[in-house]
């Protein structure tokens, strides 16, 4: 049986239309679960800058809003899209609000987590102790589980459709850019 790739999955765009990720074959992908009311929401600015800088070289950023962490993406798909347009001028592809963990997690995210599990938050980030405290209280074993821990977790996909790296929301975005640039 052929090895699974990101291109094997179907997802729904922000309007609810089915999209095959095979449409992005040959591109470098950064797949991100986002939220509009999160401490990491300003990363939208950086993501948009990266998209504008590298789209011509083959980068696509795929935005999947998720309300599973602190109820920080409470709006409808339309409200989320309007927020992103008004505050950040987002032009990269956006998809319908999803679950990334649990029994209702979409198959794409189950695959991503199987490919690259949690390896810890960036020790340099001032948000790391806050996230660790929140997660420790809800699940003392969280460090040993591969699931998504918070909004703005990112997966870097190479041109062959394989997951090459996972970045937690605390990762320095300069490092994320360097890793993207290496693949381009």
Q: How many residues does the chain have?
A: 184
Cβ-Cβ contacts under 8 Å for 72 (sequence gap 6 or more): 35, 36, 37, 38, 41, 151
* Planar angle of CA 54, 113, 66, nearest 5 degrees: 70
Residue of 45, 65, 38 whose CA lies nearest to 131: 38
SS (H, E, C) 45-107: HHHHHHHHHHHHHCEEEEEEEECCCCCCCCCCHHHHHHHHHHHHCCCCCEECCECCCCCCCCH
Neighbours of 23 (CB within 10 A): 10
Could you identify the residue written with the tokens 């401490």?
Answer: 39
Residues designated as active site: 38
């Amino acid at each position: 049986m052929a090895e699974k790739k990101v291109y094997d999955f179907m997802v729904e765009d922000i309007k609810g239309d089915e999209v095959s990720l095979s449409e992005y074959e040959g591109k470098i992908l950064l797949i991100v679960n986002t939220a509009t009311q999160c401490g990491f929401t300003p990363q939208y600015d950086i993501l948009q800058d990266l998209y504008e800088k590298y789209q011509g070289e083959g980068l696509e950023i795929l935005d999947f809003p998720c309300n599973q962490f602190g109820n920080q993406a409470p709006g409808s798909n339309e409200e989320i899209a309007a927020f992103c347009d008004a505050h950040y001028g987002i032009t990269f592809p956006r998809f319908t609000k999803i679950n990334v963990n649990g029994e209702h997690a979409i198959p794409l995210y189950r695959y991503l987590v199987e490919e690259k599990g949690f390896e810890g938050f960036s020790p340099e980030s001032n948000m790391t102790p806050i996230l660790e405290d929140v997660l420790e209280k809800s699940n003392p074993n969280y460090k040993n589980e591969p699931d998504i821990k918070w909004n703005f977790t990112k997966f870097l996909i190479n041109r062959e459709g394989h997951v090459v790296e996972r970045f937690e929301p605390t990762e320095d975005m300069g490092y994320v850019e360097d890793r993207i640039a290496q693949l381009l």
